Amino acid sequence: MISIEQTRFYQKNGYLIVNDLFDSAAVERATLAIDQVIHTESSGKTFEVEPKDASVVRRIWSPTQKHEVFRQMAAAPELLDHLEALLGRNVLFHYSKLNMKGPKVGSVVEWHQDFSYYPHTNSDLLSALIFLDDADQENGCLRVVPGSHRDGLRSHEIDGFFRGKASDVDEAKAVHAEVKAGGVLFLHCLTLHASAINKSNRQRRTFLPAYRAADAFPIYFGPHAAHNEESVQLLRGEKSKHARVEAGMHLLPLAEREFGSLYELQEGSHLKKDLTSMNVTGYAVA
């Protein structure tokens, strides 16, 4: 069970690492399930590959909808006990994804806040990063800026459009979140985070079910945000008849066109910058 000290750490820093929440058997079932999904499902909306090596899958979309192992892991009682302590007694499953940084590759994830992609009436949302491999600096572990969740939502726009990445991040304040396989990193939706490429010969696979308090309702139903609403499910407590609203204003994620993933959006902004510097025009990017 989560301790008062752990809850306070999460509230202060916007993240919490809990080691050994899942045992080696659970981790092995999940890694086997990844192989099954990749080899039995067709591509397209099922998974996304590395742009520099199409043989390497970098993301599986909605793994809880594709394999029973992930549905069970996302609703595991020991995980829900921690979520209840961090979000309150009424907990909704929000969405899921599975990110993988293959050996010697693994796409860079630039600084961002998850909340920028799906603003809600309040910010009691978090992701539970369940590590299926040891994550360290060599294989591209997450970097977080402690306490950044208390500074509100930053702009993720470039040239007036949503680009999915924050600017002017004080990286000197960032820490490396190294986690062993079976451990979980609970990440507040406003905590700034990023990750580098995988420089090692090892995998770095992470299952990410995301959750929210039942009284947090979406305030934007754009093309990217909407697809996350299909699998919402009550896991603890009761559904809410009221939306709890936090004061303030949030920039909506208004992109130039519909985009498939964070990777596509962030990489597209790099491409546009490169093309502009070469005086290339007429290229549509996410």
Q: What is the CATH number of the domain that holds 190?
A: 2.60.120.620
Predicted confidence at residue 286, as pLDDT, reads: 26
Give me the DSSP letters along 184-211: EEEEETT--EEE----SSS-EEEEEEEE
Task: Tell me the C-alpha distance between 67 and 53, whole Å.
Answer: 25
Q: Could you tell me if residue 30 is inside a domain?
A: yes
Q: Could you tell me if residue 92 is inside a domain?
A: yes
What is the mean predicted confidence (pLDDT) over 209-218? 96
Task: Tell me the C-alpha distance between 115 and 190, whole Å.
Answer: 6
Into how many domains does the chain fold?
1
Q: Could you tell me if residue 266 is inside a domain?
A: no
Amino acid, res. 224: H
Q: Quick one: 45 exposed, middle or buried, by C-beta within 10 A (0-12, 13-18, 19+)?
A: exposed
Q: Measuring CA to CA, which residue among 190, 169, 62, 210 is closest to residue 116?
A: 190
Q: Could you tell me if residue 271 is inside a domain?
A: no
pLDDT > 80? residue 36: yes
Query: Pairing between strand 91-101 and 15-18?
Result: unpaired
Q: Could you tell me if residue 79 is inside a domain?
A: yes
Residue 37 DSSP label: H
pLDDT > 70? residue 285: no
Structural domain including 144 reads 4-255
Q: Could you tell me if residue 286 is inside a domain?
A: no
What is the mean predicted confidence (pLDDT) over 21-25? 98
Q: Could you tell me if residue 282 is inside a domain?
A: no
Predicted confidence at residue 225, as pLDDT, reads: 58
- Least trusted range by pLDDT, from 31-35, 53-57, 90-94, 211-215: 53-57
Task: Tell me the C-alpha distance between 231 and 74, whole Å.
Answer: 12
pTM: 0.89
pLDDT band at 284 (very low <50, low <70, confident <90, very high): very low
Q: Could you tell me if residue 213 is inside a domain?
A: yes
Query: Cβ atoms within 10 A of the Cβ of 43, count?
Result: 11
What is the mean predicted confidence (pLDDT) over 193-214? 96
| Higher-scoring residue by pLDDT: 273, 157 | 157
| Higher-scoring residue by pLDDT: 162, 150 | 150
* pLDDT tens, residue by residue, 61-75: 999 999 999 999 999
What is the mean predicted confidence (pLDDT) over 171-188? 98
3-state secondary structure of 55: strand
* pLDDT tens, residue by residue, 225-282: 545 667 899 999 999 999 999 988 888 888 776 666 666 776 765 544 443 333 332 2
pLDDT > 80? residue 223: no
What is the mean predicted confidence (pLDDT) over 55-66? 92
